[in-house]
Amino acid sequence: MARELGEQLLGLAQKEQDPTLRMEAYRAVGRTSFFLGEFGAAQAHLEQSLTLYDAQRHHSHVFLYGIEEPGIFGFSYVALVLWHLGYPDQALQKNEAALTLAQELSHPFSLATARVFAALCHQFRRERLLTQEWAEAGLILAREHGISLGLGVGAVLQGWALVEQGQVEEGISQVRQGLATHQAIGAGIFHSYFLALLAEAYGKAGQAEEALVALAEALTVVDKTGERFYEAELYRLKGELTLQQSSVQSLASRVSEAEGCFLKAIDIARKQQAKSLELRAVMSLARLWQQQGKQQEAHTMLSEIYRWFTEGFDTKDLQEAQALLDELA
């Protein structure tokens, strides 16, 4: 529904031949495309919007278009898109551009949002300390100015960082609190992603059944809303957690189900051009195949996706992929 409205908006803006209206329309369609998991379209629209953006002329849009400054939100979203497309370093550069603009504007909502998006970007890169640092910076402003959206998102990301640092119970509590805040204000966006982070946290706590319940809820959200930007990761996590389960299912049955989940995750990621999520799913499948003695098949598949990357080699995902390739060689 949002995409349909966005495309109507773009049509009207192009008819008027007004670059400012086109900038806003491209941003609206680009952001919606991101949530739909249409990353190529999202990048094209968001970058078109940023081409038309002029900081001096467009800062006033913060008061005209629902308190959003187009440059800050444009750079923030294109950063998330670029990470999914397999460009983690370029994502970080766009994120830093959003933070710089937000500091210059001195608008609390925009600054809090830019900080929370910085935390999102670092979470995708799996950088726990920077995720925590930016989540806390966003929470400080959100509390000070009563920005409920920032409170919810910031708490979820802070909770994930705590889990990664070994404070699992405290982290799970924080993620749940953030989810509750997010739902209380009726904010639907990012909901499937937050449930994935909750499932990941439950998995770290050895609570596979609770984790799978959270993932089932996340997949229901995907089907209901069309929010598909993290869909591949949902299936990958489902596969990992199925292997962790100590249920009545036989080991062979769990292995078969997990393999199916990993293959589905890879298929979704490829259709979406989501190289970063494809890499994670291929690593999960490669580890499973390694245990089954399929070393050569695992190495071939993993090396193919690993060789595609041209940047981000200092990120945890790519470092783990290199280490796994060395094991499989």
pLDDT number for residue 107: 79
Please give the pLDDT value at position 188. 83
The pLDDT of residue 56 is 64
User: How is 160-177 classified by DSSP, letter by letter?
Assistant: HHHHHTT-HHHHHHHHHH
**pLDDT tens digits, the chain, 329 residues: what are they?**
999 999 999 999 999 988 888 998 999 999 999 999 999 999 999 999 999 988 665 455 555 655 668 889 999 999 999 999 999 999 999 999 999 998 888 778 888 989 999 999 999 999 999 999 999 999 999 999 888 878 999 999 999 999 999 999 999 999 999 999 988 888 789 999 999 999 999 999 999 999 999 999 999 999 999 999 999 999 999 999 999 987 767 888 999 999 999 999 999 999 999 999 999 999 999 999 999 999 999 999 999 999 999 999 999 999 999 999 999 99
Closest CA to 196 of 184, 183, 180, 179: 179
Tokens of 260: 């199916």
CATH number at residue 86: 1.25.40.10
Per the domain annotation, does 215 fall within a domain? no
Q: Which pair of structure tokens corresponds to residue 191?
A: 């909901």
* Final residue of a structural domain among 72, 106, 140: 106
Structural domain includes residue 209? no
- Residue 88 tokens read as 């983690």
Give the C-alpha separation, 88 to 121, whole Å: 9
DSSP codes, 275-312: HHHHHHHHHHHHHHHHHTT-HHHHHHHHHHHHHH--S-
Measured distance CA(42)–CA(31) in Å, rounded: 6
Question: Quick one: tokens of 263?
Answer: 């293959």
pLDDT at 57: 59
CA distances, 57 to each of 16, 24, 102 (Å)? 19, 13, 15
CA–CA separation, 40 and 175 (whole Å): 30
| pLDDT for position 258 | 96
- Number of domains present in the structure of the chain: 2
Round to the nearest angstrom and report the end-to-end CA distance of the chain.
48
Residue at 198 is within a domain: no
- For residue 96, the one-letter residue type is E
Q: How many CB atoms lie within 10 A of CB 204?
A: 16
Please tell me the number of Cα atoms within 13 Å of 192 on its side-chain side: 23
| Rounded-to-integer distance, Cα 139 and Cα 159, Å | 12
Q: Is residue 299 part of a domain?
A: yes
Burial class (CB in 10 A: 0-12, 13-18, 19+), 308: exposed
CA nearest neighbour of 119 among 130, 110, 109: 130
Q: Looking at residue 65, what is its pLDDT? A: 58
Residue 217 class from Cβ within 10 Å (0-12 exposed, 13-18 middle, 19+ buried)? Answer: middle
pTM of the model: 0.94
pLDDT, residue 269, reads 98
The answer to the question of residue 126 being in a domain is no
**pLDDT per position as a tens digit, 264-320:** 999 999 999 999 999 999 999 999 999 999 999 999 999 999 999 999 999 999 999
> Domain for residue 48, yes or no?
yes
End residue of a domain, out of 106, 141, 175: 106
pLDDT at 207 (0 to 100): 94
Q: Is residue 181 part of a domain?
A: no
Pick the last residue of a domain from 72, 89, 106: 106
Domain that holds residue 245: 241-329
- Within-domain flag for 111: no
Q: Is 181 exposed, middle or buried (0-12, 13-18, 19+ CB in 10 A)?
A: buried
For residue 251, what pLDDT is reported?
A: 86
